[in-house]
Amino acid sequence: MPELYIIGNGFDKEHGLKTSYWNFREYLEKYEEDFLFQMERMYEFAHF
């Protein structure tokens, strides 16, 4: 099986992968809202 080496930054964005913090936050807001608010409170993130 061939190997894929990913070097550098931007591979995910260039290929349209939703890997930003905002995408992660949207997922948490939809499926794990309690965890999201606990995490943001713990790390003193602003609620949008």
Tens digit of each residue's pLDDT (9 = 90 or more) over 22-43: 999 999 999 999 999 999 999 9
Sign of CA dihedral 16, 31, 26, 24: negative
| Structure-model confidence comparison of residues 11 and 3, the more confident one | 3
What pLDDT shows up at residue 32?
Answer: 96
DSSP tag of 8: S
Mean pLDDT of the chain, nearest integer: 86
Tell me the two tokens of residue 35: 């965890």
Asked if residue 12 belongs to a domain, the reply is: no
Task: State yes or no: pLDDT of 47 exceeds 70.
Answer: no
pLDDT for the residue numbered 46: 67
Q: Which residues constitute the domain of residue 42?
A: 17-48
Counted domains in the chain: 1
| Residue 33 counted as domain residue | yes
Neighbouring CB atoms inside 10 A of 23's CB total 11
| Mean pLDDT confidence for 13-24 | 88
CA distances from 23 to 6, 8, 31, 38 (A): 21, 21, 12, 18
